[in-house]
Structure formats: C-alpha cells, structure tokens
C-alpha cells in the first residue's frame, strides 16, 4: 500500500509538470549556428555574430567575443587543458588563436594556420601541439567531399610553428550532421593523430610517423583507410611499453617504440575495426557495423571474426569465425573471457584458445552492441530496444576504487572471475520505439543522439575489463592527449562504433593550465585529489593573455576574490565530470500517461527501469544532455534553452 501511495504521488508530481519548463534561457545576439559542451561546465555557442561561453548551470554569459560567423569546425577544444583553438578568416588572411575557455582571453595567436582544425594531439611535457587543418570544410550533404589536410606542429605554450606537412592527396571527409543542405565536413571518419615517444603518428593515407620535433618522416605504409565509403573501418592504435600496434590493409603491425621500426606483421586478418590488449595478447575484431559516409546509414561488412595475436612475435594464436551474421563490438568479462554479439546471438569465448563457451539468443532487433553492466549481466542494445541477460557462472564486476598514493588517473578493478558458464536467462527487456510523427530523418537523428548519450560519459559498464586493463592504464599515464570530433559529435556515428570507443573517451583527472587557472594558485587549495599542472615559470612568463577581443565578460563584474571563486567552481565541475560514469540509455519515444507526449526516457542500465524523463517533444537534432547538471540543452532561433531531467 505504501508503495502504491508513493507511486501515485510521484505520478501526480510528474503530471503537474508535464509541460516542459525551461530551467534557463540565454538570449543571444542572432541565430545559433552550433553549440558544444566543454569539460568545465561551460557551453560554447556560435551565432552569426559572436562566440559565447554560457554557464551550463544558470544560463548566464561567462564571456562573449565578436567573431562574426564561425562554423562548428572552427572551434576545437585542446583536451586536458583550459584552452580551445579558434580559427577565423579576416578578409584574405586567416588567424588561429588559443583561447582561455574560462575567460575568453587570447593566450597566443598564429598567422601560419589557414583553415579549420579537424583533429589535434598534444604532448604538454614536450610543449608540442599538432593540428590537422582543412581549408573550407563545408559542402553539400550527400556529395563526394574531399580535401587535402595539412599538418602543423606548433609549440603549445606560444603557438610558434616548428614545421608543417601537406598530405599527398585529397581524402574523403564525413559530414558533421546527416541532414540536407550545406553542412560542415569533418575528419571524424579517421583516427586522431597521436604523439608517442617523440614521434607523431598519422592515420589518414595509411600509417605514417614523423619525428615530432623536426617533421622528418620515420616510416610510412600507404593504404586506403575507409573501405567502401564507411567510417572507421580500421582500429584505433593501442600500445604497450615496447610497441604501438596499428591496423591496415588486413594486417596488424607492431612498431617498436624505441627504434620506430616494424618488428612484426600479422597478415590476412581482414579489416581490423577494434583492437584490445590484454597482457601479451592482442585481440582484433574484423568486420562489423559501420556508418556510411554519404547518408549516415548503418552498414554491415565482413568477413566477421576475432583473432588473438601473440605480441612477442606476431603469431596468430587462434581465430574465431563463428559470427557469420554480422558482428557487434567485443567486450571482456575478465582477462580470459570475452563476449561478442551477432544479429541473433551473444557468443562467449575463452580468450585463451578461442573456443565457444556459451551462446544464447538475444532477440534484440538490429542489435548494435553488447556490454556488461555493474551486476555482471550482458546487456544487448539497439536504437529502440535494450535487454539484459544473466549467465550462470558470470560473476558481477566489482566497483573500481582508487588506490592511495597512486597516479589518480589509474583505476584498479577487481573481478571475481568466471567459471562454469551455462545457459542464460533474460533479466529485463525494455523497448521504446521512436515517434511515428515528424520528419523521418530528423526523428532518426534525435533518436540516435539520445541512444548515444550513454557513451558520451564512458560508463564503467562499457567493458567489464575496461578496454583491457594494462592497455587502458597505460593510456591514462602517458602525456599525449588527442581530440577528434568523435568525442563531441557522438550522435553522428553508429552505436557499434561508439561502444567500441567509449571506454577510451574518458575525462582524466589532470589538467594542464595555460590561462586564468595558471595565474590563480589559491584555487588548488579548494580542489582535492585533482592534478592541475602549470607550465614552467619561464613559459608562463612568455604567455601574455589579451582581453581586447572579449566584449562581454563576467570577470569584468567581479572583484578578484569572486573571480577566484568563479574559476574554482568551474574547475570543480571539471573534477566532477572526471568522476562521472553514465548509467542511463536514453530513447526518444512517445511517453505514456500521465505525460502523453513525445520526449526522452532514460533507462537505468543496471535495473532496466525507466527512471529519467525529459519532456521536450521536439529538441533540435544537435541537443546535448548533461548528466553532470541533469539538464538537456536545445536551441531555438537565437535562444539556447535548458530543460530539467525529471528523476523517478
């Protein structure tokens, strides 16, 4: 009876608020062209006249710069720093600026870079920033759009150019949004560059590495990256202490991190779309589901299989070819057990020998991914449906705990192991069909973006073994950080690709400060267990921030003490984001009574219950959901609005 009363009370409260109410509304100076979240709780929004930074909690304007119209691809955050790069065309000239995200101040500028920054990578300890730039990256949706990227290596601290290289040929690009008309095009269909051991690795016309300081080419293997006009058909590189492993042309290559030479190749594997490193074994998934560049549709491409490779010599230990009906991502239950899904089944394999331990039907229409939740259950999902299965013998994942005295970016996990795997039984199943009303392409874009929200936050359940324990811990301890639009335009790619990459798209607990944070040392007294690293005194002395382009700023209205308080609040939000793990899969659907309207429903990944509701019937296709602030952001003309997430 008590539960019934509570449920009725909850229903009454929800019904009374069934009309969406804006939590805040920011009125900007002209039509909103784009908006994107940052790791500091600020939203960067571009209009036809200005670039804004808007406080995600309150909607107040943190700062504004009169930039004229800027495209989405002209603003690129520099990961693990307090900076973003902004490219602007000024008549016949172009200018690139490093901008303090928190204040809008210009930290440095360069007239050497012409075009929009598509991808980048940094190595703060070497003071290096590598930019991949494309000129005029805008065209008609559906066209065969190609451009020739240019690579610029700059000093991170002052923007001085060290060298630049132009790629040999034009390469195919991917639309930022799958919609009719003119759109920005991106390099989201390629893996982002990487600086490792003083070498820059590029993955556009194959695999090429350069000396990061001089630009001297170290090695090159040329091959076609995007097979059949599909995005990300080759895996992101992984590495251990000795090698970096790259895929291409049906083979995996082990590049010696000390010499730059290829120590071995594993041939005839097929398109390696995903790689995992567990101890001394490299696991490669071949084939799967991919986004088609011209229209955004999901296409299955084989041959499908899993290969295990000995990293000591490149020998193939075993191959599994039993997933003959398509293939989703792969996920590890523990170091010796992995799972994959095809169109009909979930298949559990012994990672030591490739033998099938168990399989069961999932009956999820157009299954896109298989993951492990915090209860140790197998979760299979698609655009409209998600279901969880318990398998006898598969034990629950233990929650991570940070060890005292260790690098705070390194997380230790405890696994209770797997033994005697037996038949599965369904624990729960949820289905929320997309609305039947509205423009089909728009409804599809909103539905995909909703389903992709979980992967934005790199939930701990994404992979029980979390991208192979040793490999990910190594990623967390190196000083190279990368940016690709995959981390901000996550709704443009298929769910299989997002599931394969989600655990790498983490926000770490380090930040390299070059702007206002570097000049406010007292902030660190308020943020515990969080690393803020400043450049050396010599470098800091060379940085001369300028406010001449900032036409509206909250800092102009605050005294020094309040300024420090404001910066401290933004830094604290960055810390919270580093600790956040998503637990909800969202669906755009017709919500039943008492709402009786379109909106977003959040299904708890661990319980299968509908526990979150967003009563915005028609969010724009670029909407953002902020799990940190529990808000949805959507634009309407010159307005940016925030809507509450109702929690059940």
Q: Which residues does 372 contact at the CB level (< 8 Å), separation at least 6?
A: 331, 333, 339, 378, 379, 397, 461, 463, 464
Please count the other Cβ atoms lying within 10 Å of the Cβ belonging to residue 166. 10
Residue 322: predicted pLDDT: 77
Mean pLDDT, range 261-265, rounded to an integer: 89
- Distance, in Å, from the CA atom of 123 to the CA atom of 130, rounded to the nearest integer, reads 9
Mean pLDDT, range 532-541, rounded to an integer: 78
- Distance, in Å, from the CA atom of 532 to the CA atom of 516, rounded to the nearest integer, reads 12
Residue 525: predicted pLDDT: 52
Residue 468: predicted pLDDT: 41
**Does a structural domain hold residue 23?**
yes
Most confident of 42-51, 315-324, 418-427: 42-51
**Does a structural domain hold residue 295?**
no
Q: Is the pLDDT of residue 634 over 50?
A: yes
**Does a structural domain hold residue 222?**
no
The 10s digit of each residue's pLDDT in 72-125 is 889 999 988 999 999 987 766 788 999 999 999 999 999 999 999 999 999 999
CA atoms within 13 A on the CB side of 472: 23
Q: Is the pLDDT of residue 618 over 60?
A: yes
**Does a structural domain hold residue 590?**
yes
Higher pLDDT, 115 or 412: 115
The 10s digit of each residue's pLDDT in 275-292 is 988 888 999 999 888 888
- Distance, in Å, from the CA atom of 301 to the CA atom of 215, rounded to the nearest integer, reads 36
Q: How far is CA 275 from CA 2, 329, 354, 500, 507, in A?
A: 51, 10, 15, 9, 21
The 10s digit of each residue's pLDDT in 54-78 is 999 999 999 999 988 888 889 999 9
Higher pLDDT, 596 or 515: 515
Q: Is the pLDDT of residue 6 over 90?
A: no
Q: Which residues does 342 contact at the CB level (< 8 Å), separation at least 6?
A: 304, 323, 324, 325, 326, 327, 328, 367
Q: Domain residues for 615?
A: 2-28+583-647
| Confidence label for 635 from pLDDT (cuts 50, 70 and 90) | very high
**Under 8 Å between Cβ of 130 and 124:** no
Instruction: For strands 631-636 and 624-626, give the pairing.
Output: antiparallel
Nearest to 181 by CA among 147, 136, 139: 139
Residue 264: predicted pLDDT: 93
Q: Cα 306 to chain center, whole Å?
A: 24
Tell the burial category of 510 from Cβ atoms under 10 Å away from its Cβ (0-12, 13-18, 19+).
buried
The stretches of 555-643 forming alpha helices (DSSP H) are 560-579
| Confidence label for 396 from pLDDT (cuts 50, 70 and 90) | very low
**Does a structural domain hold residue 167?**
no
Nearest to 64 by CA among 539, 469, 549, 644: 549
| Confidence label for 440 from pLDDT (cuts 50, 70 and 90) | low
**Does a structural domain hold residue 122?**
no
- Distance, in Å, from the CA atom of 422 to the CA atom of 522, rounded to the nearest integer, reads 57
The 10s digit of each residue's pLDDT in 484-522 is 877 677 777 888 888 887 655 566 778 899 988 888 866
The 10s digit of each residue's pLDDT in 445-471 is 888 888 888 887 755 444 444 444 444
Please count the other Cβ atoms lying within 10 Å of the Cβ belonging to residue 13. 12
CA dihedral 507, 508, 509, 511 (to 10 degrees): -90
Tokens 């324990």 identify what position?
469
- Distance, in Å, from the CA atom of 274 to the CA atom of 230, rounded to the nearest integer, reads 15
Residue 158: predicted pLDDT: 92
- Distance, in Å, from the CA atom of 44 to the CA atom of 158, rounded to the nearest integer, reads 23
Tell the burial category of 647 from Cβ atoms under 10 Å away from its Cβ (0-12, 13-18, 19+).
exposed
Nearest to 548 by CA among 117, 97, 94, 91: 97
Residue 88: predicted pLDDT: 84
Nearest to 612 by CA among 570, 580, 577, 647: 647
Among 25-39, 111-125, 427-441, 622-636, which is the least confidently predicted range?
A: 427-441
Q: Which residues does 91 contact at the CB level (< 8 Å), separation at least 6?
A: none
DSSP string, 481-520: EEE-GGGT-GGGS-HHHHHHHGGGS---SEEE--SGGGG-
Mean pLDDT of the chain: 82
- Distance, in Å, from the CA atom of 588 to the CA atom of 457, rounded to the nearest integer, reads 19
What does the angle CA 616 – CA 621 – CA 626 come to, to the nearest 5 degrees? 65
Mean pLDDT, range 351-377, rounded to an integer: 89
Q: In what order do the strands lie in the sheet with 116-123?
A: 161-166, 150-155, 128-134, 116-123, 481-483
Count of domains observed in the chain: 1
What pTM, to 2 d.p., does this model score?
A: 0.88
Among 14-28, 293-307, 349-363, which is the least confidently predicted range?
A: 14-28
**Under 8 Å between Cβ of 45 and 51:** yes
Q: Which residues does 350 contact at the CB level (< 8 Å), separation at least 6?
A: 336, 337, 356, 357
For the chain, percent of residues with pLDDT exceeding 90:
34
Residue 502: predicted pLDDT: 64
**Does a structural domain hold residue 69?**
no
**Does a structural domain hold residue 625?**
yes
Please count the other Cβ atoms lying within 10 Å of the Cβ belonging to residue 8. 10
> Residue 377 belongs to what H/E stretch?
none
């Amino acid at each position: 009876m008590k539960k019934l009363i509570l449920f009725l009370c909850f229903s009454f409260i929800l019904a009374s608020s069934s009309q969406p109410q804006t939590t805040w509304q920011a009125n900007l100076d002209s039509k909103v062209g784009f908006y994107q979240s940052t790791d500091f709780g600020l939203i960067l929004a571009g209009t036809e006249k200005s670039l804004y930074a808007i406080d995600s909690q309150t909607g107040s304007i943190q700062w504004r710069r009169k930039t004229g119209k800027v495209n989405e691809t002209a603003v690129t955050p520099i990961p693990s720093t307090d900076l973003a790069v902004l490219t602007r065309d000024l008549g016949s000239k172009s200018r690139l600026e490093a901008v303090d995200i928190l204040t809008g101040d210009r930290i440095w500028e360069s007239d050497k870079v012409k075009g929009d920054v598509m991808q980048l990578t940094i190595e703060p300890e070497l003071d290096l920033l590598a930019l991949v730039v494309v000129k005029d990256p805008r065209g008609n949706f559906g066209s065969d759009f190609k451009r020739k990227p240019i690579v610029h290596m700059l000093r991170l601290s002052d923007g001085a150019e060290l060298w630049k290289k132009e790629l040999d040929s034009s390469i195919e690009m991917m639309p930022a949004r799958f919609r009719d008309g003119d759109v920005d095009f991106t390099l989201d269909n390629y893996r982002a560059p990487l600086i490792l051991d003083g070498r820059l690795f590029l993955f556009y016309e194959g695999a090429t590495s350069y000396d990061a300081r001089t630009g001297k080419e170290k090695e090159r293997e040329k091959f076609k990256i995007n097979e059949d006009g599909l995005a990300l058909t080759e895996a992101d590189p992984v590495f251990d202490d000795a090698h970096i492993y790259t895929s291409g042309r049906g083979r995996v290559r082990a590049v010696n991190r000390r010499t730059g030479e290829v120590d071995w190749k594993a041939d005839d594997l097929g398109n390696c779309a995903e790689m995992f490193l567990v101890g001394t074994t490299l696991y490669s998934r071949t084939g799967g589901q991919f986004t088609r560049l011209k229209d955004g549709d999901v296409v299955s491409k084989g041959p499908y299989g899993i290969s295990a490779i000995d990293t000591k010599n490149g020998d193939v230990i075993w191959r599994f070819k039993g997933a003959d009906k398509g293939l989703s991502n792969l996920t590890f239950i523990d170091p010796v057990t992995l799972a994959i899904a095809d169109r009909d089944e979930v298949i559990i394999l012994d990672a030591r020998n490739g033998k099938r331990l168990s399989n069961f039907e999932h009956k999820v229409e157009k299954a896109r991914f298989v993951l492990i939740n915090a209860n140790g259950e197998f979760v299979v999902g698609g655009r409209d449906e998600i279901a969880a299965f318990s398998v006898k013998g598969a034990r629950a994942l233990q929650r991570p705990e940070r060890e005292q005295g260790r690098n705070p970016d390194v997380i230790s996990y405890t696994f209770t192991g797997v033994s005697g795997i037996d038949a599965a039984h369904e624990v729960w199943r949820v289905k929320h069909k997309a609305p039947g009303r509205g423009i089909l392409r728009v409804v599809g874009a909103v539905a995909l973006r909703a389903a992709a929200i979980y992967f934005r936050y790199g939930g701990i359940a994404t992979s029980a073994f979390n991208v192979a324990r040793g490999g990910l811990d190594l990623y967390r301890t190196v000083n190279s950080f990368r940016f690709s639009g995959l981390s901000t335009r996550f709704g443009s790619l298929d769910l299989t690709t997002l599931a394969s990459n989600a655990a790498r798209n983490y926000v770490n607990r380090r930040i390299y400060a070059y702007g206002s944070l570097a000049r406010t040392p007292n902030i660190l007294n308020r943020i515990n267990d969080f690393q803020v690293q400043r450049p050396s005194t010599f470098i800091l002395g060379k940085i001369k921030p300028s406010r001449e382009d900032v036409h509206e700023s909250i800092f102009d209205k605050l005294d020094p003490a309040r300024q420090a308080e404001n910066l401290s609040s933004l830094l604290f939000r960055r810390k919270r984001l580093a600790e956040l793990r998503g637990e909800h899969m969202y669906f755009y659907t017709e919500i039943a009574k008492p709402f009786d309207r379109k909106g977003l429903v959040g299904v708890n990944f661990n319980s299968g219950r509908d526990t979150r509701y967003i009563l915005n019937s028609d969010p724009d296709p670029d909407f953002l959901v902020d799990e940190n602030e529990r808000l949805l952001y959507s634009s309407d003309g010159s307005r940016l609005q925030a809507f509450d997430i109702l929690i059940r």
